[in-house]
Structure 1
């Protein structure tokens, strides 16, 4: 019954049989049949089906509230009787891309270890491409990365949305109005990440869509921390994840320069080998989704 309710919830939230089928690794007709069986069992209709879309009915909205309550109770039982005592390994190893490892993962792990102090973690930090390679080589079971989700041998699940912003020293007197145009961008003295960085890949993909093939790159550094520290002593510029500069913005050390008619958004992803399933990974993902407030 639990799995039926999980599938119903997925369809209700995504309003898509196709996306739910991909998530649970079963066919779309099987998803449709399961939903119809639930509707027959409760003698009502949970979804209005149109040609290219579905929507929740009033009864569907009510049923979803009950489903959320029931699944929450399932989770409490598993945490009490299964997950904490029997299913979790004593040491958990996973990978995280550089930005995620430095600015996202610490908060997650601190929360987790309050609940499960007996568990230790070994977290491998590298760029997104390297983490994917370690997973493919079965040296890691899963990771949290930035960047594109294009490798067919891997499965990706969205974690949180991020924005890549242009930053510089707060005392930089250029562009006092606080914004620039794309024409200005090509002229700026820029600090960039190394090849293989998810941030760099997303940045240049977005720039190419605007007809910009290169930047005035003066220096390449292999960590966001190195770039931020460099910017504190120069009037150069860099594109950095907004979650990585939150502290510097609060301390008035760096500032954001908006680019007119141009924003760069991306997702952080859970990534694992296609078909890989783990009760711990499912629980870990749920804990993160519920407790990470960006």
Structure 2
């Protein structure tokens, strides 16, 4: 049943900003309607954080999946100008995801179910990632002839290393929650019925902590890694736009909807 509420919800309780994905009927996939709402929620979190009115952010989702990634049905509808759609979404979402990842406070994500594509980027942009034993992760991009966005490749490399990130993104083999924990993609696992309360308790505890201290810890730890997310996002944008302009990109999203194996490689050089 389709919810009458907005596809992205934002509220503040007990100094915790709650960012909730609310398209359960569509696997909480991001599209041109929900993307601006997600960016707006992140902007609100940023403003409240700067004013000291919240001390943590908790990201969660309604339904069986946390976020399947981009909305492939919308990609198919716009396949004639897929690169334009992708470019518009990336111009909006890349600054937003950078703002989310660099919020001067702790961000917690609670993954009750599967994540894929851009959902990986959003989920792993959190400082602490909690997951249900029902959670699993699948790259998804190469299966439809596209490449990562929203920092998905950055976050996978940051958490699991380049070899495992390539394994995830190239093979599209799903990883169960236990494997995600072993590879460092998530930080803690909980029984499905215990996840929400554990995530809320963690976020509320952090929100009551020393905000300046936590912001300093976050800044120092992220800086020690040595990566440049903004530069990386620019590289992702260039690569994904190139893929979206290609015949393989259009073929991949069409095959997904047609429930058939994609026929890649017919014009793989058409990427300019």
TM-score, normalisation: structure 1: 0.26
> Which structure shows the higher strand fraction?
1
Give the greater-gyration-radius structure (CA). Answer: 1
> Which structure shows the higher helix fraction?
2
TM-score, normalisation: structure 2: 0.27
